Amino acid sequence: MLNIEKDFEEIKIAMKIDHEDDDGGVKRAFISAVATVKGAIGRDKSAFYDQDTDIVELINTAVIMMANHYYDAASATIESSTANGTLREYDLGYTSIISLLKAEYKVFKEGETNGG
């Protein structure tokens, strides 16, 4: 999984941020996104986030999507007005990735080799 200290420039590139004016804001958004993704998937199996599989790329994608949204909009939702008021929804791309990762997390066995 991406690491804020080791992979900071890669994270900024993925978020399409080419300045250093708000590196603190980028770091806050990324750290918050990691917490959000881990909270949505689960925290009990720490090795799940460090596997050497394509699952880690899905995790990274979800984190980048959420971090980018936190950074740009300071919110994890999309707002739209309806006749009944304002509706707040999670982005479909993020939600579908999290759903897939939750299923993978559920069957993941801590301590087993998961290369791939």
Look at residue 109 and tell me whether its pLDDT is greater than 80: yes
pLDDT recorded at residue 107: 95
**Residue 76: band (very low, low, confident or very high) from pLDDT cuts 50, 70, 90:** low
Place of tokens 């804020």: 4
70-77 average pLDDT score: 73
What are the domain boundaries of the chain? 8-107
What pTM does this model have?
Answer: 0.79
Quote the tokens at residue 107.
């069957």
